[in-house]
Structure 1
């Protein structure tokens, strides 16, 4: 997970370190419990964030995906796949959230 946390998560981590430590350990245990590789897990988490309509989580998973070496095309494809499963409007919203980060990454 990225060391730099979004403001809300950062506030919780700072204000409630024991809760954050246990939450992080829970996430690590879940991640290690199954056979999926790192790339697959990241793409699944991105899809779940799009399906859950969580713009912040989409941004976070795209940032992490790019840091882990996934391509812009790979993360954008997840949003395109969402269009038929979740509906066109939600897929478009997901793609716009993905592009918030992929377009930002291209400017750097």
Structure 2
């Protein structure tokens, strides 16, 4: 799983700018992401779903969009992505889960 993007041109504008201005920081960040991904036995699809769930839980619209984009490119079913938001209802509350669902639907529709 190519979890972290190395090409700054593929990043959202703010992250892309950081990657261009601070390439050493960006390279270390991507290497850390690769190391974390390889540190355990979780399969690639499950890793993507966990990362989406973490983005939902932290209420980061940008991170949700990023992980949804990547999940869709990895052929993960959009309904599976929506299920992440539904599963979050008891933990983060209905309004936050619905917000996350709307962020997923921004790209999964």
Answer yes or no: same fold by TM over 0.5: yes
TM-score (norm 1): 0.92
Structure 2 distance, partners of 1:83, 1:8, is: 30
Moved over 6 A (4+): none
> Residue 70 of structure 1 corresponds to which residue in structure 2?
76
> Residue 44 of structure 2 corresponds to which residue in structure 1?
38
**Do structure 1's residue 17 and structure 2's residue 23 form an aligned pair?**
yes
Tell me by how many angstroms 1:73 deviates. 0.5
The root-mean-square deviation of aligned C-alpha atoms, in Å, is 0.9
Q: 1:1-108 counterparts in 2 under 5 A?
A: 1-2=4-5, 3=7, 4-103=10-109
> Residue 106 of structure 1 corresponds to which residue in structure 2?
none
Tell me by how many angstroms 1:85 deviates. 1.6
Structure 1 distance, partners of 2:92, 2:53, is: 10
TM-score (norm 2): 0.91
Aligned length: 103
